[in-house]
Structure 1
Amino acid sequence: MTRRAVVRGVGHYLPDRVVPNSEFEKTLETSDEWIRSRSGIERRHFAAEGQTTSDLATRAAKAALADAGLEVDDIDTVIVATSTPDLTFPSVGTMVQAALGMTHGFAFDVQAVCAGFVYAMTNANALIVSGQSKRVLVIGAETFSKIMDWSDRSTCVLFGDGAGAVILEAHEGAGTNEDRGILSTDLNSDGRHREILYVDGGVSTQTTGFLRMQGKEVFRHAVEKLAQTAHRALDRAGLSAQDVDWIVPHQANLRIIKATAQKMGLSMDKVVVTVQDHGNTSAASIPLALSVGKARGQIKEGDVVVTEAIGGGLAWGSVVLRW
């Protein structure tokens, strides 16, 4: 028998404020058509004044617990993937732990920008497989609206705020790729490419900074690296692209999503797409899409799901699981 990390529940939360593309026309030389044609984004959500990443994460966590039919006492570990924490420390994970009334177990954050949720899922899987944890609440949560340069039309129109959560639970499987749960993972990074996607501030510089991106370079790396990591993870699971029921990619740009699917030889009918409604929510985008995909009736028990993401670092990776 083999211990597997199986998805028990999912949930998400989006702030109330919906920002359509047309809102940017008031302050920038841009248009709804320009934004849609280059990104596929039609609208996004922004956190309210005073609403923090931990607020969003806690609401998504509660939704996942309800979906799983579990109480907070059933959870022993909380991992939050975020690049926009409330404070330098303590971690958002411990803030969520406190907000849920959880006084046992442990919590921590993972920071790999848009690839953060894939990194967090990989860590959660390792904790479960090793026997350290039984049920892990894995959350991706971001308030990227707090680090936007509102004069930079190439970046500020692309990002949104939100949170998604997945509960992974230890189950015994037969040790084959017919098992439910996480079947394989693949993580990568290359720090030489820092300059194409970064925030120009931080604690040691005593500035908050703004997000800076070289869009064409990010696009080039994304299409190549996302297809590669997905194929590597599938190979490790003993599966091929033809075995995939759903790709749930990082929701950054519709053109990247389409190009990656094409490179993998898969139809867009097999891709869960939410970027039009949420924009790029960084580490929150995959769990948001998983939750929405389940709610739509797309993702069903037994389906083979591939998640893949790339973000600043550069950091990228993928997870293959059977729902």
Structure 2
Amino acid sequence: MGDSQHFRIRGTGRYLPDTIVTADEIDARCGVEPGWTMEHVGVVQRRRCDSPDSLANMAVRAACRAVEDAGGDWSSIDLIIDASTCRRQPIPCNAAILQSDLGERARGIPCLDVQSTCLGFLVALDLANGWLAIGDRRRVLIVCAEVGLQGMDWSQPESAALIGDGAAAVVLERCSPTPTWLHQHETFGEYREACEVIGGGHRLPPFDYSVERDADYRFRMAGPRLFRIALKHLPPLVQRVLGRATCDMDRLVILPHQASPRGVEAVRRSLKWPKERYIDHVARFGNLAAASIPFVLDLERRAGRLPPGTPLLMLGTSAGYSQAATLIEL
């Protein structure tokens, strides 16, 4: 939305639940041979949201850390966007629940949700950039919190072994426009059945749940098929964005959605991008869905590896099948 970047990232925050789930534990849970997860998936460990943690309190913690990083002034936030894949409940929106949990400091701030599974953060960023461009907002808080492990189909270890739980948030502040901004987003709906949760909506309502149909209410992903789809469609999209970029390409850092170790590395190879300017932490945390990009953004930013002025290309894929690439200046 728009042809300029109308924001700077003023704050970031992340949160991980305490429970660590190792590859060996995933092997046992999925009923596969010891070592299967490391050999076929490559995620060493991921976190699981267990009580007293919850989807809601992870969102609160990430949001508070981002706002604190941005100066701690909640009165300056005039829009909250929740871009999570996971939901606390069907109604009201996650963002309204987050605002309620934040208490008086967030009271009255407009709230809305954006749902685009693993691309949620990039879609929210595009929408926020548009609102900031027309001057409707000054500071926007984007939050992504995910508890995907509880919805896994453990009979599908190739997808169940990828997922992790966690949350991240980012504060955007309106600024004078800069030309760095590029955003492209495409959807190929013919692949929609490659990644889905069938149950829980009008097609298969939650009140029709039965043990016999339990798998229909869990996350399903045709991993090898999606891998081939992404390698066919994503690199050309990224090359189109890079072809229009005016930033210093020798400084450009790429942050991909942390989908899987194999997928992240395959995209890097297809783009022929140097490892030192390509961010890959998926083996440490798993696939955090919409939270993965802002989570790693906070990790790298706080480590001093993404200083202000760095050109950053964020890219990824999602259920749909959708794909997007967003170029910003930090």
Q: TM-score if structure 1 supplies the norm length?
A: 0.91
Choose from 222, 232, 236 the match for 1:228: 236
Change (3 A) 1:128 1:243: farther
Residue 3 and residue 228 in structure 1: after superposition, are their counterparts in 2 closer, same or farther (change >3 A)?
closer
AA in 1 matched with 2:144: G
Aligned match for 2:131, one of 120, 127, 133: 127
CA drift of 1:29 comes to 3.5
Aligned with 1:110 (options 98, 110, 114):
114
After superposition, what is the alpha-carbon deviation per residue over 1:184-233, rounded to whole angstroms, capped at 9, x for unaligned? 21111121111111112122222371111111111112233332333333
Q: State whether structure 2 residue 138 is matched by structure 1 residue 140.
A: no
**Structure 1 runs (4+) greater than 4 angstroms displaced:** none
Q: What is the CA–CA distance in structure 1 between the aligned matches of 2:195 and 2:255, rounded to whole Å?
A: 22
C-alpha separation between the residues in 2 aligned to 1:262 and 1:234?
16
Residue 168 in structure 1 maps to residue 194 in structure 2: no
Q: Measured at CA, do residues 259 and 26 of structure 1 come closer, stay the same or move farther in structure 2, by a change above 3 Å?
A: closer
Q: Which moved more, 1:92-101 or 1:231-240?
A: 231-240
Cα contact 2:41–2:161 (8 A) shared by 1: no
| 1:133-190 Cα distance to aligned partner (Å, 9 max, x none) | 11011112111012111232222111011111111100114x443xxxxx12111112
CA shift for structure 1 position 49: 3.6
1:198 corresponds to: 196
TM, length-normalised to structure 2? 0.89
Deviation, structure 1 residue 71: 1.8
Query: Is contact 1:60-1:163 (8 Å) kept?
Result: yes
Q: Does 1:250 align with 2:254?
A: no
Paired with 2:186 and 2:138, the residues of 1 have a C-alpha distance of 26
Distance in structure 2 (CA, Å) of the matches to 1:87 and 1:115: 20
CA distance, structure 1, for counterparts of residue 222 and residue 61 of structure 2 = 33
> What does 1:69-108 align with in structure 2 at a 5 Å threshold?
69-101=71-103, 102-108=106-112
RMSD: 1.9
Q: Which runs of 5+ in 1 are unaligned?
A: 178-182
**Structure 2 segments unaligned to the other structure (5+ residues):** 210-216
In 1, distance between residues paired with 2:38 and 2:315? 23
Confirm or deny: 8 A CA contact 2:95 2:112 kept in the other structure: yes
Q: Matched residue pairs, number?
A: 315
The aligned counterpart of 1:42 is 44
Greater displacement, 304-313 / 139-148 = 139-148
SS in 2 for 1:155: helix
Task: Quote the residue 1:158 is aligned against.
Answer: 162
Mean Cα deviation higher: 198-207 or 107-116: 198-207
1:306 equivalent to 2:308? Answer: no
CA distance in 1, matches of 2:240, 2:171: 25
Distance 1:298 1:225 in 2: 29
Identity within the alignment, %: 30
Counterparts of residues 6-17 of structure 1 (less than 5 Å): 6-17=8-19
1:195 match: secondary structure: helix
CA contact (8 A) 1:199 1:210 kept: yes
Q: C-alpha separation between the residues in 1 aligned to 2:245 and 2:137?
A: 22
3-state secondary structure, aligned to 1:12: strand
Indicate if the aligned counterparts of 2:247 and 2:311 stay in contact, CA closer than 8 A. Answer: no
Note the 1:170-319 alignment, pairs <5 A. Answer: 170-173=174-177, 175-177=178-180, 183-204=181-202, 205-207=204-206, 209-239=217-247, 242-319=249-326
Displacement after TM superposition at 1:123 (Å): 1.0
Tell me, in whole angstroms, the C-alpha distance in 1 between the residues paired with 2:286 and 2:258: 7
Asked whether 1:322 is paired with 2:329, we answer: yes
Partner of 1:180: none
